[in-house]
Amino acid sequence: MKETVLVVDDEADMLENCSRVLGRAGYRCVTLNEPAYLAARLIEDPPLLVLTDFRMPGKDGIEVLKEVHSFSKEIPVILFTAFASVETAVSAIKEGAFDYIPKPFSNEHLLMVVEKALREKKLREENIRLRQKLGILYGVDKIVGTSVPVRQVLETVKKVASTEANILVQGETGTGKELIARVLHMNSRRKDGPFVPVDCASLPEHLLESELFGHEKGAFTDAYAAKPGIFEYADGGTIFLDEIGDMPAALQAKLLRALQERQVRRLGSNRLVSFDVRVIAATNKNLAQEAEAKRFRMELYYRINVITIEIPPLRSREGDVVLLAKHFLEHFARSNQRRITGLAVEAVKTLEGYRWPGNVRELQNVMERAVALAEAEIIGLGDLPPSLQSSAQAGASSCEGLLALSYKRAKSRRLADFDRQYLGALLGKHAGNISRAADEAGIDRKTIHRMLVKYDLAKDDMTLKNEEHAGNR
């Protein structure tokens, strides 16, 4: 497979010469004479290296450099210009350019600099692969994202990973709570000990109790042999209690006692067993509100909530959707031995415009599907699930329809659509409980009731009223 080099220059002769020289040397040379179309070209056909002129109308080489590195900092950028000077070279290097070639230059010099840049790039990539082989699989850099909310999470993780404090990770389903827990463990003093996850929502109460604390032979039906619990297995390491907000109330009391005493008693035994574990718990619920409503034991909440890490939903992570999509694309293309090189512009726009109710997990599934079904090297709109295609079409139709209205009416309609969608999602999250919805949204109950009447939601969805009534009994 030939290595792709992108050459950006407004002079046709320069593009032709570079294309000829690089082509003869075995590279796949792609040229661009209009820097304004750089972003689309980077997305459609990502290069391994970029060569760009320094002086061009509309966008200079430094601007090209910054745009390339906003797409990927791993792409080396080499600048060339007829206006060679020490000051220019220094400014380019400071901005992150790999090197600087003054015009006129020999073909040999051009190839030497290109080969050097690609060689160093390969060495960096090999170092990353080596680190992975050595088992550093859950470093902080495993958390993909550059948005402000993600950077805040990363800062918190870096600060608290090495401590012994119990941690509560909160976030919607699919946001990557277990990944955060694993990163915390692998960057702690307990990294050589076990990491033991347990899903508190998937097991019946008696089985969950047995999983946590263990049992003796004959403790219950089917207990044919003694079995240590997860707290014993996790001794010296970390236990991850996923979806702890769904743990039965009776078991919450037993868990609290175990954490306070640092001891457990197996089912069917009178003997106490000591343990040394760090607890990381996770939930998709607002556990503080659950505790206030007495649906979760307040003392347990304080015990596990020494430090809280809030994982943002994907829809609030501006700029991270495409970054994550490319990350998953590369992973699945590599694991499935498919040559998939990038995303089409239409696919990028659709991914960015989608709300992602299933968060990062949904995006991961979408990219795995796209890689499996793609017939070309570029993932297009047709490779995305029908639900995303419909969403893109609906969005386009909606915008076209607004143009038939006055500005004031179009704005009013769009705001009303937002109110309906937000209110529906908010009440859905809280199972129709208006009090809890109002608390989270920071508005009063009367406002929500007025919105229900205004948008006729109270008549359209009677389950909301019923569920609210049940929740307040």
Domains with residue ranges and CATH for the chain? 4-132 (3.40.50.2300), 140-310 (3.40.50.300), 315-402 (1.10.8.60), 407-471 (no CATH)
**pLDDT, position 365:** 94
The answer to whether the beta carbons of residues 245 and 284 sit under 8 Å apart is yes
**pLDDT, position 90:** 72
Closest listed residue to residue 291, CA positions, set 436, 181, 423: 436
pLDDT per residue over 398-447, tens digit each? Answer: 555 556 557 776 677 667 767 777 777 777 777 778 888 888 888 888 88
Using the predicted structure, report yes or no on whether residue 240 has a pLDDT greater than 90.
yes
Average pLDDT over residues 202-220: 86
- Separation CA 310–CA 313 (nearest Å): 9
Q: Is the dihedral of CA 120, 126, 132, 137 positive or negative?
A: positive
Per the document, the length of the chain is 473
Percent of the chain with pLDDT over 70: 86
> Collapsing DSSP states into helix, strand and coil, what is residue 416?
helix
* Beta-carbon-side half-sphere exposure of residue 347 (alpha carbons within 13 Å): 23
**pLDDT, position 233:** 86
Tokens matching residue 216: 């003796």
Using the predicted structure, report yes or no on whether residue 126 has a pLDDT greater than 70.
no
Average pLDDT over residues 92-114: 86
- Separation CA 67–CA 147 (nearest Å): 17
pLDDT band at 303 (very low <50, low <70, confident <90, very high): very high
- Separation CA 113–CA 101 (nearest Å): 8
Phi/psi for 288 (5° steps) reads -65, -45
Cβ density class 398-420: b for 16+ within 10 Å, e for less:
eeeeeeeeeeeeeeeeeeeeeee
pLDDT per residue over 261-292, tens digit each? Answer: 999 999 888 889 899 999 999 999 999 999 99
The answer to whether the beta carbons of residues 430 and 436 sit under 8 Å apart is yes
**pLDDT, position 142:** 66
Using the predicted structure, report yes or no on whether residue 125 has a pLDDT greater than 50.
yes
Residue with tokens 């909160």: 170
Give the Cβ contact number of residue 286 at 10 Å: 18
**pLDDT, position 94:** 78
Using the predicted structure, report yes or no on whether residue 371 has a pLDDT greater than 90.
yes
Using the predicted structure, report yes or no on whether residue 392 has a pLDDT greater than 70.
no
**In the sheet where 307-310 sits, what is the strand order?**
195-199, 238-242, 278-283, 167-170, 307-310
The pTM of this model reads 0.56
**pLDDT, position 21:** 93
pLDDT per residue over 9-47, tens digit each? Answer: 988 999 999 999 999 999 999 999 888 888 888 888 889
| Greatest pairwise CA separation for the chain in angstroms | 87
Average pLDDT over residues 217-223: 79
Average pLDDT value over all residues in the chain: 83
* Beta-carbon-side half-sphere exposure of residue 375 (alpha carbons within 13 Å): 2
Average pLDDT over residues 335-352: 88
Alpha helices in 105-166 (DSSP H): 107-133, 148-160
The answer to whether the beta carbons of residues 77 and 52 sit under 8 Å apart is yes
**pLDDT, position 473:** 37
Using the predicted structure, report yes or no on whether residue 157 has a pLDDT greater than 80.
yes
Closest listed residue to residue 374, CA positions, set 320, 323, 332, 345: 332
Using the predicted structure, report yes or no on whether residue 469 has a pLDDT greater than 70.
no
